Amino acid sequence: CFLSLQKREVSNFDYLMYLNTLAGRSYNDYMQYPVFPWVLADYDSETLNLTDPHTFRDLSKPMGAQTVERKQKFIQRFNEVEKNLSAQCHYCTHYSSAIIVASYLVRMEPFTQTFCSLQGGSFDVADRMFHSVKSTWESASRDNMSDVRELTPEFFYLPEFLTNANHFELGCMQDGTVLGDVQLPPWADGDPHKFIFLNRQALESDYVSAHLHRWIDLIFGHKQHGSAAVEAVNTYHPYFYGDKMDLNNIKDPLIKSTILGFISNFGQIPKQV
């Protein structure tokens, strides 16, 4: 399949779906939902330039290392092993989890009910809801040390999840903004279909095709764990590595339920392929 990708016989989207399936990810499991990368870093321009490398996210680095400053902070965390951590790692949150998936797709059923269920029966505080592509990128790539989320496949084919067609009352932000449709970058001209078209075009671009293997190494490959992951600033809490833990050998039911609850709430690293 990789040779087919190199020969352009299969799209980048299809290849990523193939890898997700091999790694045990599925649309049927929110805790192991297919994970896709942020591919763009430009959410400010009026026109998207897919021939400029600066338009794109650095696919060789995880979301926690997209800026030098943030990368250094996570390296410092790893080296210091903060007192509230039970294990040495860069990240205590994950790039894909049930709540991340449901928050992205909250404007569509059945994700609306799933999100509310995970939130204890209601929507989250409006300022924490997914409301803007740009602000979500800035949070995950730069501003929020507890946010390293990636994307879901829907960002590349489903414009409907960006509109509040069901007219859910999602709340009002502190600045007075009433939440409705997701705010799109200027180059999308307020059109969800154009956003999806250009985001998919970016995914299939020459730049991404030439660098996508570096992201695959981080998520599905040899930089997923071990010394290569440490060097790549790509280590997560041990509980996230579900397939590396033998739960059958854990006799204490409290510890076992804690680990399962951790995985359920915060995400799970894909199986290495």
Number of domains the chain contains: 1
In a domain, 27, yes or no: yes
In a domain, 161, yes or no: yes
Tokens 């400029």 sit on residue: 52
**Which residues lie closer than 8 Å to 203 by C-beta, 6 or more apart?**
12, 13, 36, 39, 156
Amino acid found at 61: K
| CATH number of the domain residue 161 falls in | 1.10.1540.10
In a domain, 272, yes or no: no
In a domain, 269, yes or no: no
- Enclosing domain of residue 201: 1-264
Per-residue pLDDT tens digits for 124-165: 888 999 999 999 999 999 999 999 999 999 999 999 999 999
Distance between CA 226 and CA 137 in Å, rounded? 28
In a domain, 141, yes or no: yes
**Which residues lie closer than 8 Å to 102 by C-beta, 6 or more apart?**
30, 111, 114, 115, 118
In a domain, 273, yes or no: no
Per-residue pLDDT tens digits for 40-53: 999 999 999 999 99
Distance between CA 200 and CA 179 in Å, rounded? 25
In a domain, 270, yes or no: no
Print pLDDT tens along the chain (273 aa): 555 555 667 899 999 999 999 999 999 999 899 999 999 999 999 999 999 999 999 999 999 999 999 999 999 999 887 555 567 899 989 999 999 999 999 999 999 999 999 888 888 888 999 999 999 999 999 999 999 999 999 999 999 999 999 999 999 999 999 999 999 999 999 999 999 999 999 999 999 999 999 999 999 999 999 999 999 999 998 888 866 666 667 777 777 777 777 666 677 899 888
| Phi-psi region at 226: left, alpha or beta (left = phi > 0; alpha = psi -120 to 50) | left
